[in-house]
């Protein structure tokens, strides 16, 4: 009987495989030992270093609070308690008020009077609250003239003196220096003179320093020509001012005088229209007119009619910013003042 070679072959293969398996295990072990000997210790050291650094970083993380990162957050990310926010706002408001107080002095109430002039730093634009008129039953009229002295100032003086009616003049410092004789004539006739600033600038648009200079230079110019202490109040050009203006005026011991009847003679060249606006119904009238700043012939023509209308109503004419309620001209004949030489009028201005 023949042996089956397949069985023989199978047995031989199994025997060879059994013998090679232990050899492979030995080879793997030798490679591992070689790796340990030639590079393993260094690898172990590196592993140790990694472990140490990781441990230190972990310790640092444990020692440093996580909230420390909030120091780098934008302020808007930080939540502020309501109570703290309210305290901060109150502190900011107090600081703002303190800063304002250092630049603008405390102002008196509007409409406050010091005899016949507004209290320094105050502003009046009617005479209904004037203490001196508290018992006056007749209509009261205050005629005021701005922007002078000018070419028509002498003619207006002649009318006022002839009618024995008083008025107040608010003069520009630049005009007083240009026409000193006209300014002296107004003062000599007994009419109060106030400041209308130096150059007719809008005070509300100026810095406090510029406002201070406009007012102080005008007062100095008037005092130099007419006499020290002449100016007791002022009028803002265009009627434009703010709290800073009042603050500067207070520092210079001046109050502001406005108006409640604007004849608009600064833009109207019609005496009938000026008359109509100047005689609008009212029991206490503070009337704005101009004796310079343009051609005032229509004002000169309307003035006698304005006076006649109010006299017919039994009105009393008074002046402001002077030492006497009637300006020294209501009941006594005023001196005749020679008219100075006139010059060409300047372009019109308002207020």
Query: Which residues are the active-site residues?
Result: 146, 290
Judge whether 151 and 292 are in contact, CB under 8 Å: yes
- Closest by CA to 147, choosing from 221, 197, 206, is 197
233: tokens are 């109040």
Q: Is 348 exposed, middle or buried (0-12, 13-18, 19+ CB in 10 A)?
A: middle
Judge whether 200 and 328 are in contact, CB under 8 Å: no
C-alpha 69/C-alpha 237 separation (Å) is 60
Q: Spell 256-272 as b/e; 16+ CB within 10 A means b.
A: bbbbbbbbbbbebeebe
| Cis-peptide into 149, omega within 30 deg | yes
User: For the chain, first and last CA: distance in Å?
Assistant: 149
**Tokens 């001209």, residue located:** 329
CB-based contacts of 313: which residues, under 8 Å, 6+ apart? Answer: 139
Q: Is 158 exposed, middle or buried (0-12, 13-18, 19+ CB in 10 A)?
A: middle
């Amino acid at each position: 009987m023949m042996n089956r070679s397949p069985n023989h072959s199978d047995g031989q293969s199994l025997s060879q495989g059994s013998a090679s398996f232990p050899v492979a295990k030995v080879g793997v072990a030798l490679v591992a030992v070689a790796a340990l000997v030639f590079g393993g210790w260094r690898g172990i050291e590196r592993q140790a270093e990694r472990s140490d650094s990781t441990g230190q970083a972990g310790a640092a993380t444990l020692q440093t609070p996580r909230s420390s990162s909030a120091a780098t957050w934008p302020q808007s990310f930080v939540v502020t308690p309501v109570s703290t926010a309210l305290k901060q706002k109150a502190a900011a408001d107090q600081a703002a008020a303190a800063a304002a107080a250092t630049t603008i002095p405390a102002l008196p109430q509007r409409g406050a009077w010091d005899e016949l002039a507004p209290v320094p730093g105050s502003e009046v634009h009617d005479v209904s609250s004037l203490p001196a008129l508290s018992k006056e039953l007749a209509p009261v009229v205050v005629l005021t003239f701005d922007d002078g002295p000018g070419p028509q100032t002498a003619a207006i003086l002649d009318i006022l003196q002839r009618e024995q009616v008083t008025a107040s003049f608010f003069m520009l410092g630049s005009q007083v220096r240009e026409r000193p004789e006209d300014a002296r004539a107004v003062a000599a006739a007994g009419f109060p003179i106030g400041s209308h600033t130096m150059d007719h600038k809008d005070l509300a648009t100026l810095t406090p320093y510029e406002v201070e200079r406009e007012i102080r230079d005008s007062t100095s110019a008037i005092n130099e020509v007419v006499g020290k202490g002449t100016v007791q109040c002022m009028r803002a050009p265009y009627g434009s001012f703010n709290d800073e203006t009042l603050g500067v005026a207070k520092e210079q011991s001046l109050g502001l005088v406005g108006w409640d009847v604007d004849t608009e003679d600064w833009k109207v060249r019609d005496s009938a229209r000026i008359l109509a606006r100047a005689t609008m119904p009212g029991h206490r009238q503070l009337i704005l007119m101009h004796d310079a700043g343009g051609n005032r012939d229509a004002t000169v023509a309307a003035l006698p009619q304005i006076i006649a209308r109010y006299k017919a109503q039994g009105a009393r004419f008074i002046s402001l910013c002077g030492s006497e309620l009637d300006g020294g001209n209501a009941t006594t004949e005023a001196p005749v003042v020679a008219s100075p030489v006139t010059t060409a009028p300047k372009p019109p201005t308002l207020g």
